[in-house]
Structure 1
Amino acid sequence: MLQKFSDNIWDLKEGVVTAIFPRRCPVCDDIVESIKIRNGKLIIGQLIHDNCKKKIRYVRGATCMKCGKPLGQADSSKEFCYDCNRVRHVYDRGFSVFDYRSISGSVYKFKYMGRQEYARFYGRAVYERYGKAIRSLGIDAIIPVPMYKGKQLTRGYNQAEVLAKMVGRELGIPVYTDAVVRNKNTLPMKELDARGRRNNLKKAFNITRNDVKFKCILIIDDIYTTGSTIDEIAHEFRIAGTRKIYFLTLAIGQTT
């Protein structure tokens, strides 16, 4: 009851703010009406155009029990995807919300073009898709993948941190933005193959919060490709004594 009341207050505040500063749709980037009437009901704080929401594909059907990638029809009866059968991941399990190809343009604008407001829609999508499942895991901390300090100063924000804060609010789980740092300005991951990604990330992260011991964490990033980044961070937390490590990303592609 208290959570529902809090959500209603949040939506009301969002409606007032977006009436002054209109929100943009995370798909087409056009302005979304902050207040509208649909079937005789007042709708406040709409986050996406109705037609645009139909263009997004959520991760559904058979998925890898490790990384969460959608499995092709020929592999739908298998437990793990091809990649996870070859690589021994450090994390326990992952979740992703959207099929990458259907949301890539939105994630690009969120990541590089300052559209931090998209995180409100993303956070709500996480809650609707995985809220119950994630809260049942006993997670005591959400950890956003950190960005190298110099790069974050240039961009102005860390998209993983923005997303993590919104997911934390939706799920009622504390977010720790200072638990781990990226102490190495790694090469762009999109330019490297799987082995190159792993070599690129060696010793790239350090745990900074030795005063807090986490038993179960949820690492958050925008896109999952090979899992190299998640594994390197998970490795540091394993050394620090964390027992269970999960991850959540906005987007993921189909298994190769």
Structure 2
Amino acid sequence: MYLCPDCAGKIDVIGKIACKRCGAPLDSEICGECRGKRFHFDSANCYGYYAGVLREAIHQYKYSGNRQLAPQLGSILSTTWKERDQQIEVDFIVPVPIHRQRERERGFNQSLLLAEIVSKDLSLPVLQHGLLRTRATKPQVNLALEDRGNNVKGAFTPGSDSVEGKNLILIDDVFTTGMTLDEAAKTLKTAGAASVHALVLARSL
């Protein structure tokens, strides 16, 4: 499976005018929710809404093992970054890791494959071991809002690749509430990262 031009044209893309903190579409720089909340990542860019064609493509890629979609989805992320954050200095790309048990079951880490495509497009190295998953977590989408923070709390630890003083792009597939990305960014900041900028395929409605 791959995304034909007709299907790609049906994706509900989030425009360039979006919250600089969480990537939500809006008419000002910072949304009302982010004014009262502090994320550990410095910015978030999301390509489109987690619905329709994009949702189906992510499901085919992530859960049905259709790795043929990785180049297209990765290129979408690269283009999103180039269009929206050309002025941000970046040293490395870090994929959000999945637990080794889930990686064995799935056969791959979807965020790592995307990060490798973005790495080639942006000429930036991937830090595959900059962040490690210490335990398996339940899918965030299946949990109530109040349970999502506890689900990912303490789920990451710094890896063997140093992030001290580095500016990072953090790659993931879906932004639901931002809790997973926030916990990952918190861990990277604790390890000394100078800045963390989330780059995500889809944002939940």
1:145 and 2:96 aligned: yes
Equivalent residue number for residue 60 of structure 1: 15
CA RMSD of aligned residues (A): 1.8
Q: Which of 155, 174, 180 is matched with 1:204 structurally?
A: 155
Equivalent residue number for residue 177 of structure 2: 226
What 5-or-longer segments of structure 2 have no aligned partner?
none
Equivalent residue number for residue 114 of structure 1: 65
Percent identity of equivalent pairs: 30
Equivalent residue number for residue 93 of structure 1: 43
What is the distance in 2 between the residues matched to 1:249 and 1:61?
A: 14
What 5-or-longer segments of structure 1 have no aligned partner?
1-23, 27-48
Asked if the contact 1:140–1:214 (Cα under 8 Å) also holds between the matched residues in 2, the reply is no
1:211 to 1:80, Cα distance in 2 relative to 1, 3 A: closer
Asked if the contact 1:70–1:253 (Cα under 8 Å) also holds between the matched residues in 2, the reply is no
Equivalent residue number for residue 236 of structure 1: 187
Asked if the contact 1:182–1:205 (Cα under 8 Å) also holds between the matched residues in 2, the reply is yes
Give the paired residue count: 204
- Structure 1: which 4+ aligned runs deviate by more than 3 Å? 132-136
Higher RCO structure (Cα 8 Å, ≥6 apart): 2
Partner-residue secondary structure (3-state), 2:200: strand
Partner-residue secondary structure (3-state), 2:67: coil
Q: What amino acid sits opposite 2:25 in the alignment?
A: P
Asked if the contact 1:135–1:171 (Cα under 8 Å) also holds between the matched residues in 2, the reply is no
Instruction: Give 1:178 deviation, angstroms.
Output: 1.4
Equivalent residue number for residue 245 of structure 1: 196
What is the distance in 1 between the residues matched to 2:161 and 2:106?
A: 28
Q: Write out per-residue CA displacement over residues 146-188 of structure 1, whole angstroms, 9 at most, x where no aligned residue.
A: 0000111011011111111111111111111111111111122
Instruction: Give 1:129 deviation, angstroms.
Output: 3.1
Stretch of structure 1 that moved more, 153-162 or 121-130? 121-130
Instruction: Give 1:212 deviation, angstroms.
Output: 5.1
Equivalent residue number for residue 156 of structure 1: 107
Say which one has the larger Rg. 1
